[in-house]
């Protein structure tokens, strides 16, 4: 009986240790910066906010990540920016009642790039969804 308890306890600790190491959802720095083929589904994310707020947050996120903004067009809701020597297109679109979607795709349709470019933008937007944008007062 004592032997069975030790085996079960050992299995429990192995699952606990390897479960945290192998199955963690957080990516390491090397996984974020090493280029790999990124699925299109990883390049799009929907949010529960108006499309104009999502557009402003995406512009702010791109600037905060120190990517070079090449072109902005608020009417169509897209931002063309340069990151890691490549150009990307961030497009925000209406997705439903008070819902919107943000797609970040490479401009040349080559999905072999570092996934951290896209994931850092999404993470910044997730952290700042409660930010309030106020219009600038003209003096």
- Domain ranges across the chain: 29-127
Give the number of other CB atoms < 10 A from CB of residue 55: 23
In the DSSP assignment, the letter for residue 139 is -
Mind giving me the DSSP string for 111-135?
-EE-THHHHHHHHHHHHTTT----P
Superfamily of 29-127 according to CATH: Kinase associated domain 1, KA1 (3.30.310.80)
C-alpha closest to that of 47 among 104, 115, 98: 98
Q: What is the pLDDT along the chain (139 residues), one digit of tens a residue?
A: 677 666 655 665 555 455 544 444 566 655 556 788 899 999 999 999 999 899 999 999 999 999 999 999 988 889 999 998 899 999 999 988 889 999 999 999 999 998 999 999 999 999 998 877 766 666 6
Supply the pLDDT for residue 21.
44
Answer whether 0.75 is exceeded by the pTM.
no
At residue 34's C-alpha, the angle toward residues 62 and 78, to 5°, is: 25
């Amino acid at each position: 009986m004592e032997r069975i308890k030790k085996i079960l306890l050992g299995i429990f600790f192995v699952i606990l240790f390897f479960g945290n190491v192998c199955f963690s959802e957080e990516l390491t720095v090397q996984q974020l910066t090493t280029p790999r083929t990124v699925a299109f589904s990883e390049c799009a994310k929907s949010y529960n906010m108006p499309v104009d707020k999502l557009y402003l947050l995406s512009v702010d996120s791109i600037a905060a990540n120190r990517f070079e903004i090449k072109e902005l067009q608020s009417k169509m809701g897209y931002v063309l920016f340069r990151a890691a020597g490549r150009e990307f297109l961030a497009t925000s679109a209406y997705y439903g009642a008070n819902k919107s979607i943000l797609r970040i795709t490479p401009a040349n349709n080559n999905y072999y790039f570092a996934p951290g470019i896209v994931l850092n933008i999404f993470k910044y937007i997730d952290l700042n969804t409660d930010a309030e944008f106020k219009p600038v007062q003209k003096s």
